[in-house]
């Protein structure tokens, strides 16, 4: 998770929401990713999706069985669906997402009768570090927006 936090900081330097993710198999990092939606003009370029794309190429298989994803923020519905389809065995996240969390906070796409793949979900690893990183980012962003409006007479 510490590596995912480092990747989230990289995302923030690029002007992205600071979310980072790391996929591990048998103790080895298979793929890393961070949010890149803003820079790539791609709503699907979340950290988890970046990791799934890279891992599929590395393993030459979209089915990522026996893997663990570490991500700083609870997956959204899009990412949760992709994680299910890719058969990631375990998802460990830091901060809960109170707006779009799809691993138990707002909804849980990982449980229910219709789900054909059951992933193990673990929440709260380095939660305060992950949450603080996100909160500081949005606090700065709000301050920048306020200053910009004031500067431009808005």
Task: Express each pLDDT in 104-147 by its tens digit.
Answer: 999 999 987 566 667 899 999 999 999 999 999 999 888 888 78
The span from the CA of 44 to the CA of 104, in Å, is: 21
Residue 79 is assigned to a ligand binding site: yes
Residue 78 has pLDDT above 60, yes or no: yes
User: Is residue 130 part of an annotated ligand binding site?
Assistant: no
Question: Does residue 153 have a pLDDT over 90?
Answer: no
Q: Would you kindly state where each structural domain of the chain is located, as residue ranges?
A: 1-147
Q: Please enumerate in sequence order all residues whose Cβ is within 8 A of that of 91, keeping only pairs 6 or more positions apart, or say none.
A: 68, 69, 71, 75, 83, 103, 110, 119, 120, 121, 122
**Per-residue tokens: 11:** 């995302």
- Mention the CATH class of domain 1-147: alpha beta
Share of the chain above pLDDT 70, in %: 94
State pTM to two decimals: 0.91
Residue that the structure tokens 């900081």 belong to: 9
- Give the chain's mean pLDDT: 93
Mean pLDDT of 42-70: 98
**Rounded to whole angstroms, how far apart are CA atoms 116 and 126?**
30
Each residue's pLDDT tens digit, 22-50: 999 999 999 999 999 999 999 999 999 99
Q: Would you call 32 a catalytic residue per the annotation?
A: no
Choice among 48, 122, 127, 144 that is catalytic: 48
**76 annotated binding-site participant:** yes
């Amino acid at each position: 998770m510490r590596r995912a936090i480092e990747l989230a900081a990289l995302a923030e330097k690029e002007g992205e929401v600071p979310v980072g993710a790391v996929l591990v198999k048998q103790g080895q990092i298979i793929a890393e990713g961070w949010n890149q939606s803003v820079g790539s003009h791609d709503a699907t370029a979340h950290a988890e999706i970046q990791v799934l794309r890279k891992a599929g190429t590395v393993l030459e298989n979209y089915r990522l069985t026996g893997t663990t994803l570490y991500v700083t923020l609870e997956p959204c519905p899009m990412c949760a669906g992709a994680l299910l389809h890719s058969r990631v065995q375990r998802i460990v996240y830091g901060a809960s997402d109170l707006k779009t969390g799809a691993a138990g906070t707002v909804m849980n796409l990982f449980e229910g009768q219709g789900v054909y793949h059951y992933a193990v979900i673990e929440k709260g690893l380095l939660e305060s570090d992950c949450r603080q990183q996100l909160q500081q980012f949005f606090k700065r962003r709000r301050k920048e927006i306020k200053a910009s409006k004031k500067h431009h007479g808005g």
